[in-house]
Amino acid sequence: MDKISVVVPCYNEEEAIPIFYKALRKEWKKIPCQMELIFVNDGSNDKSLEKMRELSQKEKGVRYLSFSRNFGKEAALLAGLEYASGDYIAVMDVDLQDPPSYLPVMYQSIKEEGIDCVGLKTRTHDGYSFFRRIFTNFYYKLIEKMSSTQMVPGARDFRLMTKQMKDAVLSMKEYNRYSKGLFSFVGFDTKWIDYDAPERKMGSSKWSFWKLFRYAIEAIVAFSTTPLVLSSFIGILFCFVAFLMILFIIIKTLLWGDPVGGWPSLACIIIFVSGVQLFFFGVIGEYLSKTYLETKKRPIYIIKETEKDIK
Ligand code: UDP
Ligand code: MG
């Protein structure tokens, strides 16, 4: 019999955990597999950990990992994947935006169609603010141009994959983990199921606009070096423009003499060019800082407690 591991990162989700468990439990019964549920407590400061302890003591097949502090969802996913022992591994959010009712369908398609992964992607972003929707659309267009790794617009982290694919994802040991990119980078056959993501049932989203923005930048830095190429390109372009301007000034001076003037335009040019330079310093800095973090080889997460500690 196959075993399925379901990995669920949780950060301050005391309300959601029991409801999620009930919903998942209902679907378990429809799948002819052994099930294992792995909650990852990402340093919550509410009662999430208590809820996990309770469930793992009461219910068979419920395990958990608890971090020493908040390390972020990517770290929680990594820990969960490393801990999972199933032949198939599902990753999903606890807020029921990834409905467990899709699990049986996903398992069936993976079994029958001989593919490696089934993922869900949303058609709508109704829950998003106007600003976030525009930003999201723009971002996917941008990263499609910049990166050779394909990022599927609207793709959620909700997916069921084979152990082989999980192992491939785990073989990437990088510190800056952008899961959507990592899942795409490893290849394998992935089937996408379209659905309309419901709104969060309880609790609140953990993403502020600023956090999302940082995340978007991280994804670009992790999966594309186009910004660096762009900086060289703009450098060359500016040199060319400067060359034309020099020619123009020489010819103008030879023909009409050299009346002094034009310092405001000069000031503008200097400010503009230094702005562009600073911007690309920043770009290079982003890459350098990521390299710096990678070379330190710090642990991506630190586990404080697991279900084994209370049994
Ligand atoms: N999450 C986490 N660590 C964090 C932030 C979020 O483990 O630092 C979990 C959260 O508990 C939830 C999932 O990641 O299960 C998705 O978070 P959220 O629903 O806030 O994101 P959204 O659906 O708004 O993209
Ligand atoms: Mg959510």
The 10s digit of each residue's pLDDT in 23-56 is: 998 888 888 888 999 999 999 998 999 999 999 9
258 and 113 in a common domain: no
Q: Are residues 176 and 292 in the same domain?
A: no
200-251 pLDDT tens trace: 777 777 777 888 888 888 888 888 888 888 888 888 888 888 888 888 888 8
Could you tell me if 23 and 114 lie in one domain?
Answer: yes
* Claim to verify: residue 63 and residue 198 sit in the same structural domain: yes
Whether 158 and 120 have beta carbons less than 8 Å apart is answered as yes
User: Quick one: pLDDT at residue 9?
Assistant: 95
pTM of this structure: 0.81
Ligand approaching nearest to the C-alpha of 97: 2
- Between the CA of 276 and the centroid of ligand 2 the distance, in Å, is 37
Who contacts 162 (Cβ-Cβ below 8 Å, separation ≥6)?
87, 88, 89, 110, 116, 117, 188
Domain of residue 83, CATH code: 3.90.550.10
Encoded amino acid at 49, one letter: L
My answer on whether 183 and 234 are in the same domain is no
Same domain, 265 and 151: no
Provide the percentage of residues in the chain whose pLDDT is more than 70.
Answer: 98
Q: How far does the centroid of ligand 2 lie from the alpha carbon of residue 98, in Å?
A: 8
Residues 172 and 258 in one domain: no
Classify burial at 161, counting beta carbons within 10 Å of its beta carbon; exposed 0-12, middle 13-18, buried 19 or more.
buried
Q: Which domain holds residue 291?
A: 226-296
What secondary structure does DSSP assign to 137-194, as a single string?
A: HHHHHHHHHH-SS---TTEEEEEEEEHHHHHHHHT---SS--HHHHHHHT---EEEEE
Ligand nearest to the CA of 10: 1
The DSSP string of 47-98 is: SHHHHHHHHHHHSTTEEEEEESS---HHHHHHHHHHH--SSEEEE--SSSSS
Could you tell me which of 261, 179, 259 has the C-alpha nearest to residue 222?
Answer: 179
* Residue position matching structure tokens 């999980």: 166
Between the CA of 97 and the centroid of ligand 2 the distance, in Å, is 6
Number of structural domains (the chain) is 2
Reply yes or no on whether the pLDDT at 141 is more than 90: no
| 138 and 232 co-located in one domain | no
45 CB near ligand 1 (under 6 Å): no
Is the C-beta atom of 15 inside 6 A of ligand 1?
no
- What residues form DSSP beta bridges with 146? none
Question: Is the separation of the CB atoms in 153 and 138 below 8 Å?
Answer: no
Give me the half-sphere count of Cα atoms (radius 13 Å) on the Cβ side of residue 185.
19
165 and 97 inside one domain: yes
Residues 173 and 251 in one domain: no
239 and 205 in one domain?
Answer: no
Residue 2, token pair as written in the block: 């196959």
